């Protein structure tokens, strides 16, 4: 499955959420990560994020069957792209 993670969390937890997210996904833009995950990896990611997030935080997951099932158009410069990683 292809997962896009988008988060809006308190400033005190931004670094923690990013750190957890980068263990599983590629950071592509401020507060946005994406990548291929197995169901088990997705479950672990959610469990780890629950430990660092608070009720006032917002973390969204867009789950798609595969990267081929959607198209991304970018205006400007991307921080990184999953295809840039060797």
Which residues belong to the annotated binding site for Mg(2+)? 8
Q: CA nearest 6: which of 19, 16, 21, 15?
A: 21
Q: Distance of CA 17 to CAs 9, 31, 55, 59, 80, Å?
A: 8, 9, 14, 9, 18
């Amino acid at each position: 499955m292809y997962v896009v993670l988008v988060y809006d969390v308190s400033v005190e937890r931004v670094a923690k959420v990013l750190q957890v997210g980068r263990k599983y996904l590629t950071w592509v833009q401020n507060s946005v990560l994406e990548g291929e995950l197995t169901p088990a990896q997705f479950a672990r990611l959610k469990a780890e994020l629950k430990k660092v997030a608070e009720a006032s935080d917002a973390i969204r997951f867009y789950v798609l069957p595969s990267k081929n099932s959607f198209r991304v158009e970018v205006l400007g410069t991307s921080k990184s792209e999953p295809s840039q990683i060797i």
